[in-house]
Amino acid sequence: ATQTFSIEVVGATSAPAIVSTPVTAARAGQAYSYTVVATGVPTPTLTATLNGGGALPAWLTFDPATGVLSGTPAATDVGNYDVIITASNGVNPDAMQAFTITVGGPAGIPVLGNPYLQTFTGGLPADWVATGQWAVGAPTTGAASVGPPSVFDGDLAATNLTGNYTSSAHWNLDTPAFDFTGVASPQLRFVHWHNFERATSGTPPNNYDGGNIKISTDNGTTWVELDPASVTPAYQGVLVSGNSMPGQQAWSGILTDWTRVSIDLTTALTGQPLDQVKFRFDFGSDSSVTRPGWYVDNVRVGDAAQIPSSPVITSVPPAQLSIVAGELFTYVVTATGNPTPQLTATSTSGALPAWLTFDPATGVLTGTPANADAGLESIVITATNGQTPDAVQQFTLDVLPIEALATYIFDGDVRTPDVVATDVTAGELNNRAGTTTFVTGNPGRALNSNGFNVAVDPNYYEFVITPAAGFQVALDAFAFDHYRSSTGPTSFQVLIVSGGVTSTVTAGAGTMPTATTWTTATIPLAGAERGPFTGPVAVRITASGASSATGTFRIDNVSLAGVVQPRPNSAPVILSSPATVAQIGTPYSYPIVVDGWPAPTVTVSGLPTWLTYNSTTRTISGNPSVLSVGTSGTITVTAANTITPNATQTFTVTVAAPAAVPVIDGSPMTQNFSATLPTGWGATGGWEFGIPTVGANTVGPPTVYDGEVAATRIAANYTNSSFWSMATEIYDLSAVTNPTLQFVHWYNFERSASGTNYDGANIKISTDGGASWVELLPASVTPAYTGALGSGTTGMAGQQGWSGILTDWQIVTVDLSANLTGLRDQVAIRFDMGSDSSTTRPGWYVDDVRIGALADLVIAPTVTSAPRLSGMEGAAYSYSVTATGLPAPTLAATGAAGAALPAWLTFNPATGILSGTPGATDVGDHAVDVTATNAGGVDTQSFSIHVFAAGTLPVFTDGFEGPANPWTIGFDVGTASDWEIGTATVAGPLGCFAGAQCAGTILDGDYSVGPALSYMQTPVVNLTGIPQPAMRFMQWYRTESGYDGGNVKISTDGGLTFSPLTPSSVTPAYTGTLSPAPMAGQLAWTGVGTTWTAVTIDLSADLQGLPRDQIVLRFDFASDTSLVYTGWYLDDVQVGDYATLQ
């Protein structure tokens, strides 16, 4: 057989391979080129497509013959292009190279293929922009430094290298533009130090000055704030309205050292152009204090994964740095940084102690110390990665030794237990109810001194171990010998009791032997039964199952095995739970229970005004009132010691209405007040209770109404910008017909001469137990409110209220019917006072508050008006009688003892006017009785009217026409008296009231700038025998309202001493209370009274029971240290009987 074939010899073949590295970055407007190099036999054929097989973009071409991929992208081609190069030559497999070409923006903006770093070496970089005082250079450090404590890395940028920034500044430092196209995790990093003005108190403190970072994605045309959540460390808060960057989030306050800042730009760049991004370091200050400012260095921009960063140790050493000998200690160290940091662990004295090892690969520091290792050991963890600075963490371990408990606690022959260890105390207790001693037997202790109850098992014996402060006890086992009589208990159980928790010992149950023999029970303790216990711990033996009350159970040779050891440091914990509901009328109490070592300090914040915290007893307590109804703000309890973290507990307390409220039915509720807040009532702010002071030094009412009162401060003015409330209990008025509120009050509130009510008070009502409050309908209030309170009245702006001054106590009646449109079973009344930010006054005094049916609210009548005690032949006489009482009193007038009135007198009971014109035959004295009558009784005012003969003159009169001058002029404060006598045509009124001359406080100009007190006084006047002594004069005034003004004083000792006049005797009334010195707190005419007006002063009340032969009257005028005006002018002064004054 024959076979014929041929052999062809060919070269060796190989699969293709692409060996060139692709060019992945391109820029709009610039030529791109990448030459593909491939190997293989035969020579490979090259192709280029987009990923997925699509055609290349129009700007990009590929020449398979030369292997050149090239083109020039336009600005519209900016973006990413996924390209695949394929090489094939018939030998499998084909070679493929996939890469992404990133087309960046126009020339001049770098594509962040590698991170950008700016260290500011050599001055401000050419492509950075700075405004204001931003400067680049080396800061001064040391004693003369105004900036950071040290230089971070040579030159840096700062708002001022050698001094503080200026007030009202807004300066910025702008980076060049960057192209973030293709950057996976865009980030801005830098280091900084700052010292900006920031308040040291407040929640949160005010940030007066500060700095933040802004971003622009359009090459600096527009700027926006970064999302605060992307900034680490976080901004301090919002800048104040006075800052040049008001309301913006920013860093403020002081950094103690250089700090690294990392800003995640992902959110800021999402959906935005990536090729023209700039950053701005923006700084702003307010108009006041300046500080060293902001220092910035080592600014880095790029992909977070590529930016080198110095190491940071992120783990925190265990809070338990006290280690008990024999227990395992473990701490896993973690750190971050780029490159990954290398970890080392040493002792400050050199190598780690022998019991402690460290694995740098896992970061685990671990070991178990022995008693011999007891003491302190300082450990240093260091993380390094070639970037400065290294991260260092230092902490101290405290190895605590242990001590064994003694084996035997006691035996039956010894009453006092043996000493068990150095740092514990021990004691045996018989805790059977009512029993104080065991039956003494030998051997053993008997547990049945009062006999066993065969049905239940209340009998137990207990031994207590108490560790000393700073120590703890760990128990291992408990053993004892026991014996039972034939009718004694048949079983026992061992319990562990500590901290109020009773635990049943798992191995602690036992059955008594039937024989009456001694038996030993050994009880091992496990798990939580062992402790350790930091407070008293009791081992308790209970016995049960006796068949007879006389059965016995005896115990002897008790032993307890365990260790006593120093208590390890531990972070604080809060063990107690707060009561979150309180009820009006029931005291609230929350005793706070904490644990931890060292013993924690407990602080409490956010308490409502009705709650207080006692740091000694660690108890929150208070008595909620109707003003407390609702849910409080967040209350925070913090327990802190030297171990972190602190323990915090937050909660709210909801105050609910009482379970039962007083029902008013028949007898009204009456509150006359005492020296303290009435039970069940509530008060906020400055409300006080007691007896007001009266007389020359009083700041309140002229008289005491009825003993103790409630007042917005008893003996002082209320404060500015205050809102104070006082509220009654909650009442059920369902059964009350015509429900009425009644009280008496006196007030003195700031009110301008033109009628602006700056400060004032009103009444509010709640019909839902204090959950909500509404103003009373003004029409239901008698006497009516003065008017609307001003816009600056704290808490009461625009509300109707009382303002100005009452000259005497006044009865107020409020018809509650119109204000109670729904249910009436949860009604409370609130007395509200509000003030503005300027002048203060004596305030509001309230007494005799009553709530009930109108028919039940009877107030005995009182004639309140002062009679006119004189008249003159041929001149009309008139006396307007006024009286208070509820119901309104009926008025009547008669002669003495019910006789008829004199023929010349008539009385109108509807108007209360007693009037008539006496004739010549009526000259002399006429006795009159005026009566006021209602269901509460009768009040009689008896007086005598003296009728003078026609032509009778006053005792003293002067119209200042001279030449004789009976007046004494002087000053108590200042350098000269302002009082002058002469013509008034230059500065004050257009002329005197009558004649050519009058008296005034500097006739040709404004009165003096004070403090000044000038006086002008009459000669001595004898008013003996005058029935109704009085004074009359004409006045004109213009002063600084509330600060400058004048009043009249009286002396009964010839001018040696002077006293203010009774305010109710002065008509028209004084217009305000002066403040400040030299007449602070005195009533006076103040403000504007630029019309000549007659003033009449009834001197009867001020001369009651006093000698009248040495009377001097004095005009006092005071000014403060600010504004001055034309002052006080007087004319036609008369002193004598009321009837003779014309």
Domain of 352: which CATH number?
2.60.40.10
| CA diameter of the chain | 190
Highest average pLDDT, of 95-99, 138-142, 565-569, comes from 95-99
Give the integer Cα–Cα distance in Å for 573 and 510.
37
We report the CATH number of the domain holding residue 271 as 2.60.120.260
Inform me whether the pLDDT recorded for 331 exceeds 60: yes
The answer on 126 and 38 residing in a single domain is: no
Least confident of 690-699, 742-751, 820-829: 690-699
CA distances from 8 to 5, 692, 1036, 1040 (A): 10, 133, 140, 128
The answer on 828 and 768 residing in a single domain is: yes
Q: What is the pLDDT of residue 372?
A: 87
Least confident of 25-34, 412-421, 646-655, 955-964: 412-421
3-state secondary structure 592-650: CCEEEECCCEEEEECCCCCEEEECCCCEEEECCCHHHCEECCCEEEEEECCCCCCEEEE
Tokens of 157: 């940028």
- Buried-state track 851-870, b at ≥16 Cβ within 10 A, e below 16: bbbbebbbbbbbbbebbbbb
DSSP state of 140: P
Inform me whether the pLDDT recorded for 89 exceeds 80: yes
In a domain, 664, yes or no: no
In a domain, 856, yes or no: no
Q: How does pLDDT run across 501-533, given as a tens digit for each residue? A: 888 988 877 776 766 677 888 899 988 898 888
In a domain, 437, yes or no: yes
Give the integer Cα–Cα distance in Å for 1072 and 842.
11
The answer on 791 and 693 residing in a single domain is: yes
Give the integer Cα–Cα distance in Å for 251 and 256.
14
Average pLDDT, whole number, for the chain?
A: 87
The answer on 413 and 394 residing in a single domain is: no
Amino acid occupying residue 833: M
Q: What is the pLDDT of residue 458?
A: 45
Q: What is the pLDDT of residue 865?
A: 81
Question: End-to-end distance of the chain based on CA atoms, in angstroms?
Answer: 174
Q: Output the CA angle 1091-1092-1093, nearest 5 degrees.
A: 100
Mean pLDDT confidence for 813-823:
89
Contact 600, 639 (CB under 8 A): yes
Q: Which residue has the higher pLDDT, 1047 or 327?
A: 1047
In a domain, 258, yes or no: yes
CA distances from 129 to 124, 136, 573 (A): 8, 11, 53
- Residue 843 CA to chain centroid, in angstroms? 26
Contact 916, 905 (CB under 8 A): yes
* Conformation bin of residue 696: beta by default, left when phi > 0, alpha when psi is -120 to 50: alpha
DSSP string, 439-497: EE-SSSEES-TT---SS----EEEEEEEEPTTEEEEEEEEEEEEEE-TTS-SEEEEEEE
Neighbours of 386 (CB within 10 A): 13
How many helices (H) and strands (E) the chain has is answered by 2, 94
Inform me whether the pLDDT recorded for 411 exceeds 50: no
Mean pLDDT confidence for 1038-1052:
94
Give the integer Cα–Cα distance in Å for 141 and 149.
6
Least confident of 97-106, 323-332, 727-736, 773-782: 97-106
Mean pLDDT confidence for 806-822:
88
Contact 131, 172 (CB under 8 A): yes
Inform me whether the pLDDT recorded for 255 exceeds 50: yes
Give the integer Cα–Cα distance in Å for 656 and 625.
9
Residue 30: pLDDT band by 50, 70, 90 thresholds? confident
Inform me whether the pLDDT recorded for 413 exceeds 60: no
Q: How many domains does the chain have?
A: 8
Per the listing, tokens 């269901």 go with 935
Residue 892: pLDDT band by 50, 70, 90 thresholds? very high
Give the integer Cα–Cα distance in Å for 546 and 538.
24
Mean pLDDT confidence for 54-64:
94
CA distances from 64 to 38, 223, 498, 623, 764 (A): 11, 48, 88, 93, 94
- Which of these, 835, 799, 622, lies nearest to 724 by C-alpha position? 835
The answer on 876 and 971 residing in a single domain is: no
Mean pLDDT confidence for 285-309:
91
Q: How does pLDDT run across 1082-1099, given as a tens digit for each residue? A: 999 999 888 899 999 999
CB-count burial class (<10 Å; 0-12, 13-18, 19+) for 1086 = buried
Amino acid occupying residue 424: V
Q: How does pLDDT run across 426-449, given as a tens digit for each residue? A: 554 433 322 322 332 223 333 333
Q: What is the pLDDT of residue 963?
A: 73
Domain boundary among 623, 656, 689: 656
Phi, psi of 1097, deg, nearest 5: -125, 120
In a domain, 4, yes or no: no
Contact 298, 227 (CB under 8 A): no
Radius of gyration of the chain (CA): 48
Mean pLDDT confidence for 709-720:
93
The answer on 990 and 1114 residing in a single domain is: yes
Give the integer Cα–Cα distance in Å for 987 and 1002.
9
- Residue 439 CA to chain centroid, in angstroms? 61
In a domain, 9, yes or no: no
Inform me whether the pLDDT recorded for 305 exceeds 90: no
Q: What is the pLDDT of residue 671?
A: 95
Contact 1078, 1013 (CB under 8 A): yes
40 Cβ contact list (under 8 Å, min separation 6): 14, 15, 16, 17, 87, 89, 91, 95
Mean pLDDT confidence for 1028-1043:
92
Q: Which helix (H) or strand (E) holds 570?
A: strand 570-574
Q: What is the pLDDT of residue 870?
A: 76
Q: How does pLDDT run across 968-983, given as a tens digit for each residue? A: 999 999 999 999 999 8
The answer on 125 and 82 residing in a single domain is: no
Q: What is the pLDDT of residue 107?
A: 58
Q: What is the pLDDT of residue 439?
A: 30
DSSP state of 220: T
Give the integer Cα–Cα distance in Å for 702 and 838.
24
**Per this entry, what is the length of the chain?**
1142
Q: What is the pLDDT of residue 440?
A: 28
Mean pLDDT confidence for 606-616:
94
Contact 492, 505 (CB under 8 A): no
In a domain, 1009, yes or no: yes
Q: Which helix (H) or strand (E) holds 266?
A: helix 266-269
- Which of these, 145, 546, 565, 223, lies nearest to 370 by C-alpha position? 565
Domain boundary among 830, 851, 872: 851
The answer on 595 and 550 residing in a single domain is: no
Give the integer Cα–Cα distance in Å for 532 and 721.
56
Inform me whether the pLDDT recorded for 409 exceeds 50: no
For 411, the domain range is 403-566
Beta strands in 105-151 (DSSP E): 116-118, 129-130, 135-137
Residues paired with residue 263 on neighbouring β-strands, in sequence order: 188, 231
The answer on 830 and 706 residing in a single domain is: yes
In a domain, 6, yes or no: no
Domain boundary among 82, 104, 126: 104
Q: What is the pLDDT of residue 830?
A: 97
Residue 108: pLDDT band by 50, 70, 90 thresholds? low
The answer on 258 and 121 residing in a single domain is: yes
Inform me whether the pLDDT recorded for 800 exceeds 50: yes
Give the integer Cα–Cα distance in Å for 620 and 783.
43
pTM over 0.85, yes/no: no
The answer on 517 and 451 residing in a single domain is: yes
The answer on 394 and 407 residing in a single domain is: no
CB-count burial class (<10 Å; 0-12, 13-18, 19+) for 113 = middle
Give the integer Cα–Cα distance in Å for 115 and 187.
10
Q: How does pLDDT run across 338-361, given as a tens digit for each residue? A: 889 999 999 998 999 999 999 999
